[in-house]
Structure 1
Amino acid sequence: MTAFHVMAGGNEAFVRPVVRKIGISDIVDAMKLGLDDFSEKPSHYVFLCLMYPIAGIFLAMWSSGANLLPLLFPLMSGFALLGPLAALGLYEISRRRELGLDSSWQHALEVRHSPALPSIIAVGIMLVALFIGWLIVAHALYGAFFGDTVPPSISSLISDTMTTPQGLAMMLWGNLAGFIFAVIVLATTVVTFPLLLDRDVGAVAAIDASIRATLTNPIPVALWGLIVAVGLVVGTIPIFAGLAVVMPILGHSTWHLYRKLIVAPQQQQ
């Protein structure tokens, strides 16, 4: 049975993985390797890739009711905050392919047997909390500029947001708040989940490694965040279907980015 250890790794020791300084070329190479993983057996990833767009469509439909319309765009954009968690199975497939193991899609579910599962769950809860926090902030901003007024339709919501002074101000502050949430998620999870799958170091040590990797490589990590953001936006066209291709490529690339950012134990000698 998996031991419940989150603060430290399986041996109860707090280990700080060594962070490597990388360049822009490493980001490009990670993307190429991620594309190779996806191209190897793309049919095996259909099951995993469809979960994300289906969830996105569900959220969009759920928010289409009149009372929830103001949360439509925060939900669509904020759902990206859960991306690192949604791509867990993709990291596992890349890990298995790297080791020369069977990388069929069903092995993505092997994550549930990981000794680091408690730590993975803990970080997942953190992401869900940030997602909920973003929705609360977005709802508060809408209330601050539009009060209790609820738009009768999506077209009305878009018109109010794009053509009125209060709508433009709300967009400005909303984008700023969204950027802050996105930076927090990027800095705390850029290598966290792949590291936990690879080494059971504990949630705190994994997040610490991710933050140190970000601070050591601000420009490459910022570029990676931009690539992810643009990819997810493009993937939502049409009707989130593009995420079925974008998500696996980004997921596999994240694994290879982790390999470039974190020095393997055997390489530390």
Structure 2
Amino acid sequence: MTTLPVHDLGHSMARPVVNAIDGHDLSMALRRGVDDFLAMPTHALFIGLIYPLVGIVLATAAFGTEVLPLVFPLAAGFALIGPFAAIGLYELSRRREKGLSTDWAYAFANLTRPAAGALAGLGLLLAVVFACWLVAAQGIYWALYGTSVPDSIFAFAQDVLTTPRGWALIVIGNLVGFAFSLVVLALSVVSVPMLVDRDVDMLTAIETSLAAFRRNPRTLTAWGFIVAGLLILGSLPLFVGLAVVMPILGHATWHLYRRVIPA
């Protein structure tokens, strides 16, 4: 792991150092994420249960045939706001790292810090990206299916899996979704945990995250695929597995941030 100063940040703060990381750093982050989860299972589960519950509510709300085509985009796009939703997990990992109390009551202590406004602004930005993804997904459906409404979930699933336009919907939708995910990864992989860790403005945090992605494009893209794969596995049993997957990924992301931006 080598280091590189961030020279393109036009701010008065001490410019952070961006490390070059590799696959070893990814595996180390995951191992430490699991270790944090095992050390703080009650707290992590308490926060992690938010994700499957919200996922189930979103899927249920979208189960009417009029919005049936948005069920998958809603479930998949939920990961776009995951980095912001995991701020409590970052804080618990930060406190454990410093030997402080990890009681769940401290999970959102960062919301009272000077950087809370920047965190809120970044959360709003991710919400806008999420909304843009839903608009894009609906546009792809209209381009292939017109304004027709599926008769039922079974008829829609059969059409998607067995017809050329259904295969096109899968391929194009996943490619566009990948582009949105890549944008969010570059914007947030360092910025959100950095705002939990340091008193910086939102622009500085985003610029540092982009610098980290430019420094480690392949490794951080691989991290994105790891996150996507684990989220899919956690979502399969009606989102229940996310109660374990999301806390581990949240803690692991904190440790990945520490590998990229040293304390």
1:64-115 per-position Cα deviation (integer Å, ceiling 9, x unaligned): 0121111111111111111101111000000011111100112112122122
Asked if residue 200 in structure 1 is aligned to residue 211 in structure 2, the reply is no
**Aligned equivalents of 1:98 and 1:208: distance in 2?**
25
User: 1:207-222 residue pairs with structure 2 within 5 A?
Assistant: 207-222=206-221
**In the TM superposition, what is the alpha-carbon distance from 1:185 to its structure 2 partner?**
0.4
How much has 1:243 moved relative to structure 2?
0.4
SS in 1 for 2:262: coil
Alignment deviations for residues 155-177 of structure 1 (CA, whole Å, 9 cap, x no partner): 11111111111111122211111
CA distance in 2, matches of 1:209, 1:167: 40
State whether residues 15 and 205 of structure 1, in contact with CA within 8 Å, keep that contact through their aligned partners in structure 2.
Answer: no
Counterpart for residue 171 of structure 1: 170
- Structure 2 residue identity aligned to 1:47: F
Report the TM-score, using the length of structure 2 for normalisation: 0.93
Deviation at 1:15, TM superposition (A): 4.9
Moved over 4 A (4+): none
1:15 touches 1:201 (CA, 8 Å); kept in 2?
A: no
Q: Deviations over 1:28-80 (max 9, x none)?
A: 11111111110112012222011111000000000001211111111111111
Q: 1:16–1:205: 8 Å Cα contact kept in structure 2?
A: no
Give the structure 2 partner of residue 6 of structure 1.
none
Who is 2:236 aligned against? 237
Counterpart for residue 108 of structure 2? 109
Q: Residue 73 in 1 paired to residue 72 in 2?
A: yes
Change (3 A) 1:99 1:156: same
Unaligned runs of 5+ in 1: 1-11, 265-269
Displacement of 1:258 after TM fit? 0.5
Cα distance, 1:246–1:98 mapped onto 2, change above 3 Å: same
Q: Structure 2: how far apart are the matches of 1:15 and 1:136?
A: 39
1:250 is displaced (CA, Å) by: 0.4
CA contact 2:45–2:247 (8 Å) conserved in 1: no
Sort the Cα spacing of 1:15 and 1:139 in 2 relative to 1 into closer, same or farther, 3 A.
farther
TM-score of the aligned structures, taking structure 1 as reference length: 0.91
Q: Which moved more, 1:166-175 or 1:237-246?
A: 166-175
Matched, 1:118 2:102: no
Deviation at 1:14, TM superposition (A): 5.0
Query: How far is 1:220 from its partner?
Result: 1.5
CA distance in 1, matches of 2:262, 2:91: 18
Same amino acid, percent of matched pairs? 48
Question: 2:5 aligns to what?
Answer: none
C-alpha distance in structure 2 between counterparts of 1:213 and 1:259, whole Å: 12
1:19 aligned counterpart, secondary structure: strand
| Residues 1-269 of structure 1: pairs in structure 2 closer than 5 A | 13=12, 15-264=14-263
1:133 Cα deviation from its structure 2 partner:
0.2
Distance, in Å, in 2 between the alignment partners of 1:245 and 1:112 is 24
Q: Distance in 2 between matches of 1:24 and 1:102?
A: 31
Distance in structure 2 (CA, Å) of the matches to 1:16 and 1:61: 46
